[in-house]
Amino acid sequence: MGRIPAINQRFTGAYQATEQAQKIEELQSEVEHLRAAQSPDLEAQLEVLREQLKLQSGELAIEVALIQANPHQPRQTITSESIQTIAQSLEKDGQITPLILIPRGKHYLIWDGQRRWEAAKLLGWQTLQAVTAPMPKDLHRKALLTFIHHEDLNPLDKAEAIVKEIAESTGITADEIPTMLSTVLRRLERAQLINQLTGLVAGTPEVQQQGLRQLDIGEKEMSLLLALLDLGLNPASVKANLLSMLALPTDLKQAIRERGLKGAHALALASLSAKTLRTSERQATKERLAVTQQMIDQDLTVAKTRELVSQIKAKYLNSEPTESKEIAIATKGLERLSSDTLKAINQNQLAELRQVLQKKLAEIDVILSK
Amino acid sequence: MPKQQSRQIVVGILANAGGVGKTTLAVHLAYALSKRGCSVALIDLDPQRALDVFCGLPSVEAEDSLVRVLSKDFVGGWPLVRAWNNPNIEVCQGHPVLSQISDDLVIRRRGEYTLADRLQSHPLRHDVVILDCPATLGMICENAIAASTGLLVPIQLEMKSVSGVADLVQWAIAISDDLQLKPRPPILGLVPCLYDNSRAIHRQYLRQLPDVAEQLQIKLYPQIRDSSEFKNASANGLPLQKYRPAHPANRDFEDLAHDLAALARKGKW
C-alpha cells in the first residue's frame, strides 16, 4: 500500500498560499487597528457628539442667515465643486445630519457643517437643522487636532492652522514663527543634532522637554519646538513641507484653496518669481497663472511642472538683449562721418541719409519706451 | 441593537475535476436543508446542465435559464422552477449557451461580478443559494467566487481529484485577491465524495486527509459513500432521500446540512 504516492506533497503550493493569505489578513487587520488607534475616526466622533447634543438641547431649525463661518475653521479650502455636490444631495435627500453650532449672542458659529451651510445658501434655504454646543475653551486647538492628520486638508491650510495654534499657545507672534523655526533648525543642522530632535516626535512630554534641554537652545525656541512636538509634528518636516507654503505668492495660495493645486506643484511654480525671471511682478504673476491653468487642465505631474517651469525660466534669461556687433559697427561708421565729409556730398544723398536716420530713430524710440 | 437577522448565504460548490460529485452534493444538500426548514435556490452554472437530470426537470430554452439572468439586459424576474414539487427548493436551470456567455463576460464591464451584481440588485428570497459550478476553472467559476459567501469543495479520493483540489485552493485565494473580495469567501469544507471503503487508495487517502485539511485550515466533513443507488435515484430525477428514504447514505449529508442551516440562521459559522 505504501506504493501509492502520498497526497500531502501535492498540496505544498496550496499550503503556502493559505499561509500567505492568512498572514496578509492578519497584517491588514493590524494596520486597520493601528489606524483606528492613531487617528480617531472623525465621523464616528462627530456622530457621538451629535447624539449627545441632540439629547441635551434637542434639534433646532436655525435660520441660515444667523449662521456664521467659524474663523478658526482649519479647512479654509472649500471648492465650489464640493459644495455643488453637497447641494445636489441636500436637494435630493434633504438634510440628513444636523449641523453642530456654537451660539454666540444672536449668531451661531459653525463647528461642523460648513459645506452643508454653503450649499444651503446656494439653494436659498431659509433654515437648517442643527444642534448647539457650548463654546469650547480651545476651539481652534480641538478643531486643529481633529483635522491635522486628515489627508484632505491642504498644506497651506495646515500651515496656517499650525502657526495660529502655536502663536496662541506660546505667545510668539505668527510672523516670528517661520523665521525662528528656520533659524533654530539651521543651527541644529550645523551641530548635527537634527536627528536627535526628530527622535523626540514619538516621545512623552517629559522626554521631549528633557531632550530639548540637551540641545542648547533659547527659551522661546524651546517653547516653539515643544509646541510642535506636542501636536505630534516633526519640526523639520513642518519647516520643509508646510512653512514654505506661507511664503507663496497670493495667486498660488488662491489656486491651492480654490482650485486644488497641490503643495509640491505650488512650490515648483513659486520659483517663477519676478526676481528669478528678472521681470516685473505683474509679468511673473501672469506667467504663473498661465502655467497653473495648464497644470490644472492637463493634470501635470510635479516633474512635468518643473520641466515647464525651467523652460519658462530659460525663455526669460536667454532673451536678455545681447550686444550686437552690427550695431557697434554702424555706430562707429556714423561717428566716422566727419562734418567735412557731410559738407562735401550732394544734397540728395544727404536728404536720403536724413530720411534713413529719422526712420531708425523712430524705431529706436518705440523699443526704448517699452 | 437589534438581534442579528438571518441572512442569505451563497455557497459555491467547486471542484477542479469532472465527475467527483458536485451536482450530487448540491442536490442532496438542497434537499437536506429544506428538511431543516431552509428555503434553497439551486443555480446551475454548468453548460452541461446536469442539475436538470438530477432534479428530473425537462431542459429549457436559453431564455428561461440562467442565460437570461447573466445577459446584459436582465431586468429582474429570475426564471425559477420548483424541484420535486417542493415549494422550498427552486432551480434556476442551466443551458449550453452559458459557455458563450462566459466568453462574453470576459469583455464585459464587471464581467467577473455579473452574478454577484444580479444577486445584489435582484435578490433571491431563499435562505441558501447553492451554485453548482462547471468543472473547469474559468470566467463562470470566477463569477461564482465573487458571488459566494462560502465555498464547498467535493474531493474524490483519487489522485486526479486530489491534484485538482490542491490547484483549486491556490486558485481560489488568488482570484479572491485579484477581485479584491472583502472578505474572501472562505472554503467552508472539504467533502470526500464517492467514497468506497473497499478500495485501498480511498482508505489510505482518507487517513491522510485530516492532516491536509488542518494545514489548509479547512474543515473536513465526513465522507459521502459511493452507492449505485445514487445513480438510480438521479436516473429517476430524484434525490436519494426521496428515492430511498431509509438508505444509510442519506445520513452522510447531515453534518454539512446542519452547519449550513446554522450559518444561514445565525449569519455565523
Question: For A62-80, what is each residue's pLDDT tens digit?
Answer: 889 889 887 666 566 666 7
pLDDT of residue B156: 94
What is the Cα A252 distance to its own chain's centre? 9
pLDDT of residue B269: 38
Q: Which residues of B touch A18 (CB under 8 A)?
A: 169, 173, 215-217
Whether B187 contacts chain A with CB within 8 A: no
A14 → closest Cβ in B204, B211, B216: B216
B163 → closest Cβ in A10, A22, A25: A10
Contact criterion met (CB < 8 Å) for A18 and B217: yes
Question: Is the pLDDT reported for residue B169 higher than 90?
Answer: yes
Mean local confidence (pLDDT), A292-320: 83
Q: With H, G, I as helix, E, B as strand and everything else as coil, classify residue A47.
A: helix
B169 → closest Cβ in A1, A18, A22: A18
Chain A nearest C-alpha distance from B110 (Å)? 24
Using an 8 Å Cβ cutoff, are B102 and B144 in contact?
Answer: no
> Distance (Å, rounded) from C-alpha B38 to C-alpha B262?
10
B262 vs A93, B85, B150, B268, CA distance in Å? 39, 25, 14, 8
Mean local confidence (pLDDT), A218-230: 89
Confidence of residue A31 (pLDDT cuts 50, 70, 90): low
Q: With H, G, I as helix, E, B as strand and everything else as coil, classify residue A1.
A: coil
Contact criterion met (CB < 8 Å) for B215 and A22: no
Question: Is the pLDDT reported for residue A174 higher than 90?
Answer: no
B170 → closest Cβ in A7, A17, A25: A17
Domain boundary at A185, A216, A246, which?
A246
Q: In what order do the strands lie in the sheet with B86-92?
A: B81-83, B86-92, B40-44, B128-132, B9-13, B150-156, B187-193
Question: How many CB contacts within 8 angstroms connect chain A with chain B?
Answer: 51
* CATH number, domain B9-260, options 3.40.50.300, 3.60.110.10, 3.20.20.80, 3.60.15.10: 3.40.50.300
Confidence of residue A149 (pLDDT cuts 50, 70, 90): low
Mean local confidence (pLDDT), A86-97: 85
Mean local confidence (pLDDT), B181-192: 91
Answer yes or no: is A2 within a domain. no
Question: Is the pLDDT reported for residue B181 higher than 70?
Answer: yes
Segments making up each domain of chain B, as ranges = 9-260
Cell numbers linked to B109 = 464591464
pLDDT of residue A181: 92
- Closest C-alpha to B51, from B109, B98, B5: B98
* A206 & A228 share domain: yes
A4 → closest Cβ in B165, B173, B204: B204
* A130 & A49 share domain: yes
Lowest mean pLDDT among A19-28, B15-24, B172-181: A19-28
Lowest mean pLDDT among A40-54, A92-106, A335-349, B69-83: A40-54
Whether B215 contacts chain A with CB within 8 A: yes
Answer yes or no: is A4 within a domain. no
Name, of A15-29, A109-123, A317-331, B65-79, the range with top average pLDDT.
Answer: B65-79
Q: With H, G, I as helix, E, B as strand and everything else as coil, classify residue B1.
A: coil
- Closest C-alpha to A250, from A278, A269, A276: A269
CB atoms < 10 A from the CB of A51, how many? 11
Answer yes or no: is A115 within a domain. yes
Question: Is the pLDDT reported for residue B6 higher than 60?
Answer: no
* A59 & A117 share domain: yes
Whether B166 contacts chain A with CB within 8 A: yes
Contact criterion met (CB < 8 Å) for A7 and B216: no
pLDDT of residue A17: 87
Mean local confidence (pLDDT), A35-40: 54
Contacts 24+ apart (CB under 8 A), B248-254: B249/B224, B249/B225, B250/B28, B252/B222, B252/B223, B252/B224, B252/B225, B253/B25, B253/B28, B253/B29, B253/B32, B253/B224, B254/B32
Phi-psi region at B77: left, alpha or beta (left = phi > 0; alpha = psi -120 to 50): left
A317 vs A249, A275, A276, A278, A311, CA distance in Å? 21, 11, 9, 8, 10
Q: Which residues of B touch A28 (CB under 8 A)?
A: none
Q: What is the pTM of this model?
A: 0.51
Chain A nearest C-alpha distance from B253 (Å)? 25
- Please name the residue that has the C-alpha cell 508646510: A242
Sign of CA dihedral A256, A262, A263, A269: negative
- Please name the residue that has the C-alpha cell 437536506: B32
B162 → closest Cβ in A7, A17, A20: A7
Q: Which residues of B touch A1 (CB under 8 A)?
A: 200, 204
pLDDT of residue A1: 46
Answer yes or no: is A289 within a domain. yes
Question: Is the pLDDT reported for residue A140 higher than 70?
Answer: no
Lowest mean pLDDT among A325-339, B75-89, B189-203: A325-339
Contact criterion met (CB < 8 Å) for A11 and B177: no
* A304 & A259 share domain: yes
Whether B205 contacts chain A with CB within 8 A: yes
Contact criterion met (CB < 8 Å) for B173 and A18: yes
Rounded to a whole number, what is the distance in angstroms from the first to the last CA of chain A?
A: 103
Confidence of residue B268 (pLDDT cuts 50, 70, 90): very low
DSSP secondary structure string, B169-210?
HHHHHHHHHHTT-SSPPPEEEEEEESB-TT-HHHHHHHHHHH
> Distance (Å, rounded) from C-alpha B41 to C-alpha B62?
18
Answer yes or no: is A357 within a domain. no
Indicate the residue type of A253.
K
Give the pLDDT confidence of B197-208 residue by residue, as tens digits: 999 899 999 999
> Distance (Å, rounded) from C-alpha A343 to C-alpha A206?
96
DSSP secondary structure string, A241-287?
IIIHHHTS-HHHHHHHHHH---HHHHHHHHT--HHHHTS-HHHHHHH
Give the pLDDT confidence of B90-141 residue by residue, as tens digits: 999 999 999 898 888 888 888 999 999 999 889 999 999 999 999 888 899 9
Note down the domain range covering A122.
42-135
CATH number of the domain encompassing residue A46: 3.90.1530.10
Phi-psi region at A274: left, alpha or beta (left = phi > 0; alpha = psi -120 to 50): alpha
Question: Is the pLDDT reported for residue A195 higher than 90?
Answer: no
pLDDT of residue B126: 94
Whether B207 contacts chain A with CB within 8 A: no
> Which candidate in B158, B208, B220 is best for mutational testing of the A interface (most A CBs within 10 A)?
B208
Sign of CA dihedral B185, B189, B194, B200: positive
Lowest mean pLDDT among A16-30, A236-250, B209-223: A16-30
Chain A nearest C-alpha distance from B183 (Å)? 9
Question: Is the pLDDT reported for residue B2 higher than 60?
Answer: no
Contact criterion met (CB < 8 Å) for B166 and A14: yes
Q: With H, G, I as helix, E, B as strand and everything else as coil, classify residue A103.
A: strand
Q: Give the number of domains in chain A.
A: 3
Whether B209 contacts chain A with CB within 8 A: yes
Question: Is the pLDDT reported for residue B5 higher than 70?
Answer: no
Mean local confidence (pLDDT), B8-21: 91
Mean local confidence (pLDDT), B240-259: 94
* A282 & A219 share domain: no
* A75 & A87 share domain: yes
Q: Give me the residues paired with residue B192 across strands.
A: B155
Whether B177 contacts chain A with CB within 8 A: yes
Domain boundary at A106, A135, A164, which?
A135
Contact criterion met (CB < 8 Å) for B173 and A17: yes
Which residues of B, range 106-165, sit inside 8 Å of A by Cβ? 159, 162-163, 165
Say yes or no: ipTM exceeds 0.90.
no
- Of all residues in chain B, the one with the smallest CA distance to A2 is B204
Contact criterion met (CB < 8 Å) for A1 and B211: no
Lowest mean pLDDT among A133-137, A241-245, B149-153, B257-261: A133-137
Q: Which residues of B touch A14 (CB under 8 A)?
A: 165-167, 169-170, 216
> Which candidate in A11, A16, A24, A27 is best for mutational testing of the B interface (most B CBs within 10 A)?
A11
Give the pLDDT confidence of B221-248 residue by residue, as tens digits: 999 999 999 999 999 999 999 999 999 9
* A217 & A296 share domain: no
Using an 8 Å Cβ cutoff, are B166 and B137 in contact?
Answer: no
Element (H, E) at B92: strand B86-92
Q: What is the mean pLDDT of chain A?
A: 81
CB atoms < 10 A from the CB of A61, how many? 11
- Closest C-alpha to B26, from B14, B16, B38: B14
pLDDT of residue A367: 83
Cis peptide before A136 (omega within 30 of 0): no
Answer yes or no: is A265 within a domain. yes
Lowest mean pLDDT among A193-197, A219-223, B173-177, B192-196: A193-197
